[in-house]
Amino acid sequence: MSYQVLARKWRPRSFREMVGQTHVLKALINALDSQRLHHAYLFTGTRGVGKTTIARIIAKCLNCETGITSTPCGECSVCREIDEGRFVDLIEIDAASRTKVEDTRELLDNVQYAPSRGRFKVYLIDEVHMLSSHSFNALLKTLEEPPPYVKFILATTDPQKLPATILSRCLQFSLKNMTPERVVEHLTHVLGVENVPFEDDALWLLGRAADGSMRDAMSLTDQAIAFGEGKVMAADVRAMLGTLDHGQVYDVLHALIDGDAKALLEAVRHLAEQGPDWNGVLSEILNVLHRVAIAQALPDGVDNGHGDRDRVLALAQALPAEDVQFYYQMGLIGRRDLPLAPDPRGGFEMVLLRMLAFRPADTADAPRQALKPVGISQATADSAKPVAAAPVVAPAAVSAPAAVAPVVEPAPAPVIEPEPIPEPVAETVINLPWNDPVEPEIVQQPVVEPVLETVAEQPELPPMPLPTPDSVVPEAPEWVAAPMPEPTAADVDMATPGMDLDDEPPLDEDYIEPDMDSAYSYLDDLASEHAAEPAPEPEPEPAAMPATGLALQWLELFPKLPITGMTGSIAANCTLIAVEGDHWLLHLDPAHSALFNATQQRRLNDALNQYHQRTLTLSIELIKPEQETPAQAASRRRADRQREAEESIHSDPFIQQMMQQFGAVVRHDTIEPVEAPVTQGS
């Protein structure tokens, strides 16, 4: 006997053998048991979910020799012939190969004949959406009012292509995709009956690769049995499918949690040995992070669709929620930029290294690099901003300054009033093209000496000649307008106050009218930009009293606790008030009550238990602490460092020399204290 594939061998022959589709089976079973039979059924869904199988079972239920029932016997001649595909009254039509209207007319001509053997003549039209519009129109009337012994069962994977007139004449049932859990459960049963050894991880790989189709899962299982020489093992299935080892994704995430760059790159090297699609690997990481975020919000909402529910819950406990959101966002941006990388593996590694480098600032194990010490002083000023509006002097000039002569401004030249003349003359040259015989003369005007930087550079000028009555321009023709009298110095000063006589007025073509709309638009953009900038977080107010006793112990204990994020911010604004055995009482500043909730209190309590290696009971009251909190202590230390930095700048000899010789001014808002470098043994 020839070998029969698993998909055909394990095809369900009754409703009770069906896997899933409970919502469809319940409606059909109730209709068959109550004899409420419709004349046309439409089954929709993706490939391999049971559309044709249900149609054949309905044909057996309608024509079984025991009567119309939801549980056909499966032993009578009708049931056997339907299972073997040779029942004469079950007409299966492939609409993809019979799309013409002539084929539909031939089908309708046979509808009028009664069934040969069975109780009903059943027409099963598969992929009905492939019929032409003329075929649908020809089918409408018969589909609406067929003979009482005719039943139509339509099946399609694309119901959107069916006309609304066809949909309104059928009972429509939408079959769902098979979940990986259901596929694995069915494959476990099938391989157990077939006596085929298997591994659970291999079945999960097959269940995810089937993508909701039970027939695809059975076909892939057949292929896996042949590939593994009678066994279904995870390594063989992974090699057959070319899929990624899901455990390696968790190796990458654990290396990120530990902040271990060496382990991270080692995990990438192991991934590279399989030649994966790096975009797909990044997608798998994002899927895991998504499920981790669900586990942190609702642990019961995590499914076992990938067979790794325990791993996801463990990651949800080990990874802070803010880190999960940060890694997810960084991965999304990395997927967008991955096609721009010169090498896909290099781009993937850069995404992971970016996740490792740009961790939240308050994370205890975030990588930090000490700044290089500055040789001049222990503080530095922002070089991008000018210290003062003074000229920059080279160091050599400072050590041996050259003697600079003082700048002496010469006294303004006296303005000599010209003697009155009988007729006013023009000041400018009159050069008329139509008056060639007349050669114009130039009236000599008083020359104002330019202001020079030093007295020594002023040249000796000859005495300025005074205008005479003879120095006039020849008369112009009568049709030329009379010349204007020469304005005096007093008139010029009155008309243009504050304007030097040497300055020439701008030409008309040099004047550009400002665009007021652009100016207002620029001001609006500038105002909106400043409005969008977040306000800096205010410094905590200084404490009323310094920390002593339990408050001082809390200051020493706070940096050692394994807390970050909002939990760390809450603990930084608390102070220890009382300790009674294993019960601790903290006071929290009410200004930070918006961040406080039961979850933050539980995390802080867990951190205390982890540090002390015993179980403590923590209570937090919203009362303003009187003694110094860790946040106030940190603010005080920052203020002290800032004051020391400013004093260091002011005491620097180079700065003092700049201030004395050039009137430089130190901008205190540009001074930032430099953290002292960590030395060996300190």
pLDDT value for 188 = 93
pLDDT value for 385 = 42
Task: Give the CB-side neighbour count of residue 113, counting CA atoms within 13 A.
Answer: 11
Query: Quick count: other Cβ atoms within 10 Å of Cβ 608?
Result: 20
Same domain, 232 and 276: no
Band of residue 369 on the pLDDT scale cut at 50, 70, 90 = very low
286, 333 contact by CB (below 8 A): no
Contact partners, residue 432, CB within 8 Å, separation at least 6: 438, 476, 480
Examine the fold and report which residue of 357, 386, 406 is the final residue of a domain before the chain moves on. 357
- Of residues 153 and 358, which shows the higher confidence score? 153
pLDDT value for 270 = 86
123, 150 contact by CB (below 8 A): yes
CATH code, domain with 86? 3.40.50.300
**566: exposed, middle or buried (Cβ count in 10 Å: 0-12, 13-18, 19+):** buried
DSSP-assigned letter for residue 88: T
pLDDT value for 436 = 45
pLDDT value for 422 = 47
Indicate whether 228 pLDDT > 50: yes
Same domain, 45 and 168: yes
Reduced DSSP (H G I as helix, E B as strand, rest coil) percent helix, strand, coil of the chain, to 5: 45, 10, 45
pLDDT value for 659 = 86
505 within a domain of the structure (yes/no) = no
pLDDT value for 562 = 87
Please report the sign of the dihedral spanned by the C-alpha atoms of residue 589, residue 591, residue 592, residue 594: positive
Same domain, 571 and 615: yes
pLDDT value for 493 = 52
Which stretch of DSSP H or E encloses residue 185?
Answer: helix 180-194
578 within a domain of the structure (yes/no) = yes
Mean pLDDT, the chain, whole residue set: 76
Same domain, 253 and 237: no
The three-class DSSP label of residue 342 is: coil
Contact partners, residue 367, CB within 8 Å, separation at least 6: 259, 356, 357, 359
CATH code, domain with 221? 1.10.8.60
pLDDT value for 599 = 87
Distance of CA 57 to the CA centre of its chain: 50
Read off the pLDDT of residues 294-328 as tens digits, 9 standing for 90 and up.
Answer: 999 888 888 776 667 888 888 888 888 888 999 99
Same domain, 258 and 234: no
Examine the fold and report which residue of 357, 376, 411 is the final residue of a domain before the chain moves on. 357
* Average pLDDT over every residue of 209-223: 91
Tokens of 199: 């591994």
Its domain, for residue 592, covers: 550-628
Read off the pLDDT of residues 378-405 as tens digits, 9 standing for 90 and up.
Answer: 343 344 444 444 444 344 443 434 444 4
Examine the fold and report which residue of 151, 174, 197 is the final residue of a domain before the chain moves on. 174
136, 161 contact by CB (below 8 A): no
pLDDT value for 32 = 92
Query: Quick count: other Cβ atoms within 10 Å of Cβ 634?
Result: 17
Q: How far is CA 259 from CA 271, 349, 413, 416, in A?
A: 19, 14, 79, 87
As for how many domains the chain has, the answer is 4
Closest CA to 199 of 173, 226, 238: 238
214 within a domain of the structure (yes/no) = yes
Same domain, 235 and 250: no
Q: How far is CA 579 from CA 69, 205, 556, 575, 583, in A?
A: 76, 54, 16, 12, 6
**262: exposed, middle or buried (Cβ count in 10 Å: 0-12, 13-18, 19+):** exposed
420 within a domain of the structure (yes/no) = no
**Residue 568 identity:** G
**557: exposed, middle or buried (Cβ count in 10 Å: 0-12, 13-18, 19+):** middle
Read off the pLDDT of residues 449-507 as tens digits, 9 standing for 90 and up.
Answer: 444 444 444 445 455 554 444 444 445 444 444 445 555 555 545 544 444 444 445 44
Read off the pLDDT of residues 263-305 as tens digits, 9 standing for 90 and up.
Answer: 889 889 888 887 788 888 898 899 889 989 999 988 888 877 6
* Average pLDDT over every residue of 109-131: 89
Contact partners, residue 415, CB within 8 Å, separation at least 6: 446, 489
Same domain, 18 and 161: yes
508 within a domain of the structure (yes/no) = no
How many helices (H) and strands (E) the chain has is answered by: 25, 10
Band of residue 660 on the pLDDT scale cut at 50, 70, 90 = confident
Same domain, 138 and 11: yes
The span from the first CA to the last CA of the chain, in angstroms, equals 84
Indicate whether 218 pLDDT > 90: yes
* Average pLDDT over every residue of 545-549: 83
Same domain, 29 and 131: yes
Same domain, 237 and 137: no
71, 15 contact by CB (below 8 A): yes
Q: What DSSP string describes 190-239?
A: HHHHHT--B-HHHHHHHHHHHTT-HHHHHHHHHHHHHHTTS-B-HHHHHH
> What are the φ and ψ backbone dihedral angles of 434, each rounded to 5 degrees?
-90, 5
Tokens of 154: 């339509």
Read off the pLDDT of residues 426-453 as tens digits, 9 standing for 90 and up.
Answer: 444 444 444 444 444 444 444 444 444 4
- Residue % of the chain over a pLDDT of 90: 21
pLDDT value for 674 = 78
**159: exposed, middle or buried (Cβ count in 10 Å: 0-12, 13-18, 19+):** middle
309 within a domain of the structure (yes/no) = yes
Same domain, 231 and 299: no
